Structure 1
Amino acid sequence: MVFPYMTHLLAAMLLGALIGAERQWRQRMAGLRTNALVATGAAVFILSAMSASPDSPGRIAAQIVSGIGFLGAGVIMRDGMNVRGLNTAATLWCSAGIGVLCGLGQFWNATAATLIILCANILLREAAQRIHALPGPVTKRNAMSYASPVCANMKMPCVSCC
């Protein structure tokens, strides 16, 4: 009975570590160990739920999703107008999903999802940087950021009435 659990846990740890290795290589806050632990922890919760009641993993998976949200919130930082860590938080969330799949014994699905996550983090990063370098369209919101507010009732620049 222990061997199947070890297979689930080792698969979760290894696949989470693969995802984390890419994060570690890019020197992000949550790297190799964090992603491996998140995936392994999610698998532990699924396995413990299945040993108590075989029909309860869905409820546990839902709680894992919300719990990882708190962990991800700790990774997101605001620096002036910039927000950093969103991709790392999303990657942690995905690592938890990998752990859930491994806990359920869906190793091929977990492997496929890991490859897709790695492709998203590696290949889409380049695409996002190229798109970001393109000149953006002028929108009403962008144009309004350069205009000063005017009070409607006084037809003068707004100082304290708005």
Structure 2
Amino acid sequence: MHPDLYRLLIALGIGAIIGAEREYRSKSAGLRTMIMVSLSSCLFTIMSLKIGVDSHDRIAANILTGLGFVGAGVIFKDENRISGITTATTIWMTAALGMAAGAGYEMLSLFATFIVLIVLIFLIYVQEKIEALSQARTYRIICPYQLKI
């Protein structure tokens, strides 16, 4: 198999794995979005290496700039609560993983995908425990009292 096709397949798998986790949690950027982010980043990286531009880092910087706008689209503010930041950073990370695969760092991208999954799947339980500790609680103590005359 041609190395570039192999890299695209790895990017497809990475996007699918991360996207499946996001889809399972009913997030706005799910399976198809993460696959497209990973694949497009991989393809842009492959093309930047193939077309022989003087500065490969310009294409990488433009990938990240463009994805900054995509990530900003999934962040919402509602009164005093901001949501979507994890999804936005996951989009950013999925792009980085696709870029790594496209640049030929397949094992690095696969290992980093494993780390991302640990963060997304298992650390949510740690986060919930921390949030439970920081919640304000109101206690009401009732003492029956009878006045004796």
Secondary structure at 1:53 match in 2: coil
- Counterpart of 1:107 in structure 2 is 106
Q: Which one has more relative contact order, counting CA pairs under 8 Å at least 6 apart?
A: 2
- Counterpart of 2:88 in structure 1 is 89
Which residue identity lines up with residue 104 of structure 1 in the other structure?
Answer: A
**1:13-162 equivalences in 2 (<5 Å):** 13-53=12-52, 56-135=55-134
**Unmatched 5+ stretches in structure 2:** 137-149
CA distance in 2, matches of 1:77, 1:113: 27
- 1:96-155 Cα distance to aligned partner (Å, 9 max, x none): 001000101111000011000010111111111110111379xxxxxxxxxxxxxxxxxx
Secondary structure at 1:27 match in 2: coil
The change in CA–CA distance for 1:136 and 1:27 in structure 2 (over 3 A counts) is closer
Which residue identity lines up with residue 112 of structure 1 in the other structure?
Answer: F
- 1:24-43 Cα distance to aligned partner (Å, 9 max, x none): 11111101110111000001
CA distance in 1, matches of 2:36, 2:134: 40
Q: CA RMSD in A?
A: 1.7
CA distance in 2, matches of 1:59, 1:115: 28
CA distance in 2, matches of 1:125, 1:58: 34
- 1:23-77 Cα distance to aligned partner (Å, 9 max, x none): 0111111011101110000011111111111763322112211211100000001
Number of residues of Structure 1 aligned to a counterpart in Structure 2: 136
CA distance in 1, matches of 2:134, 2:47: 51
How much has 1:94 moved relative to structure 2? 0.4
- Counterpart of 1:6 in structure 2 is 5
**Unmatched 5+ stretches in structure 1:** 138-162
Q: Is the 8 A contact 1:17 1:33 kept in 2?
A: yes
CA distance in 2, matches of 1:98, 1:74: 20
TM-score by length of 2: 0.85
CA distance in 1, matches of 2:14, 2:56: 20
CA distance in 2, matches of 1:56, 1:126: 43
